[in-house]
Amino acid sequence: MKIDEAHVRPDPDDPTRPKRGLTEDALATRATVYRPDLLAGQTVLITGGGSGMGKAAAFLAARLGANVAICGRREEKLVETSDAIRAATGASVLTCPMSIRDPAAVEALIARVHDQFGGLDTLVNNAGGQFPQDAIDFSRKGWLAVIDTNLNGTWWMMQEAAQRWRADGKPGNIINIVANVERGMPQAAHTCAARAGVIYLSKTVATEWAPFNIRVNCIGPGVIETEGFGVYPEEALRRFHQANPMKIRGDAWDVAEAIAYLASPAARFVNGELMIIDGGQAQWGVVWPGGMPDYFDEGGAA
């Protein structure tokens, strides 16, 4: 089945589409299981930190006492997030508009964080993007854009951070936000390929980099409701929660608290792992981000 591209790739800035995700007030006040100084003295860099899961992770890291740096392509989102965190916590957040696709920009970003804070403790690779479409209809440009951001961009960040930690003789911690790819991702084959690459890249370098005291782990979110839902058609969104046996949607705070755990001393012996946060989706159903094709519709199946 060929899906009309204009239909499945709506404009996320369309004012008629529902706004989703946690408000800044919620991010500032939502209860957390962690003590307020859990990350005191640490520096956390979060890519894609201006919205969604990255924004929630930045709020929580700042609330837990960390020095926070965020980067992304849209400066206005970064500034809005930085201002909101400062208002809520009093903490100043370093903002760096850039593209992780550009290795030179990545090198400059890592250097700036080290210069600003005297080092880096945890890198959270959250930046990424994709669009729903049947794989047979991918354009070459669309395929390369997703692979370049989600796989190559993540690698540039990982390698640059690790090389700096090795040169400085300091430990490091990398947390890669990926996806639950074990059963494939229909209508998202491009990001499935990229995220699977990141997962097994992470498992590999978790071993290679252990002599440098660098840990590398992944988090695979399932259906997490954020403003990123704006790229999906409404009929697909109505079924998303049916793809897990709990039949609910997660939110960005669920992922932020998992990131905080992996950034904390409690996770010192966790390395090379993939933490799945999906409400049991891996055992239950499949998300169809472009809308379930009629062929697969069994009258209520996810």
Amino acid 40: pLDDT: 97
Contact indicator for 217, 176 with CB cutoff of 8 Å: yes
**Residue 142 to residue 271: CA distance in whole angstroms:** 33
Angle (CA) 247-292-234 rounded to 5° is 70
Task: Average the pLDDT over each of 56-65, 138-147, 179-188 and give the range with the smallest value.
Answer: 179-188
Percent of all residues in the chain with a pLDDT value above 90, rounded to a whole number? 73
Amino acid 284: pLDDT: 79
Q: What is the pLDDT of residues 228-257, one digit of tens each?
A: 666 666 777 777 777 888 888 889 999 999
Q: Give residues with Cβ within 8 angstroms of 55, minimum separation 6.
A: 27, 49, 70, 81, 252
**Residue 224 to residue 268: CA distance in whole angstroms:** 26
This prediction's pTM: 0.89
Q: What is the pLDDT of residues 77-136, one digit of tens each?
A: 999 999 999 999 999 999 999 999 999 999 999 999 999 999 999 999 999 998 889 999
Amino acid 3: pLDDT: 38
Q: Give residues with Cβ within 8 angstroms of 269, minimum separation 6.
A: none
Rg for the chain (alpha carbons), in Å? 19
Q: For residue 42, with 0-12 CB atoms within 10 Å meaning exposed, 13-18 middle and 19 or more buried, which class applies?
A: buried
pLDDT reading at 222 higher than 90: no
pLDDT band at 148 (very low <50, low <70, confident <90, very high): very high
- Which amino acid is it at 256? A
Distance between alpha carbon 237 and the CA centroid of its chain, in Å?
19
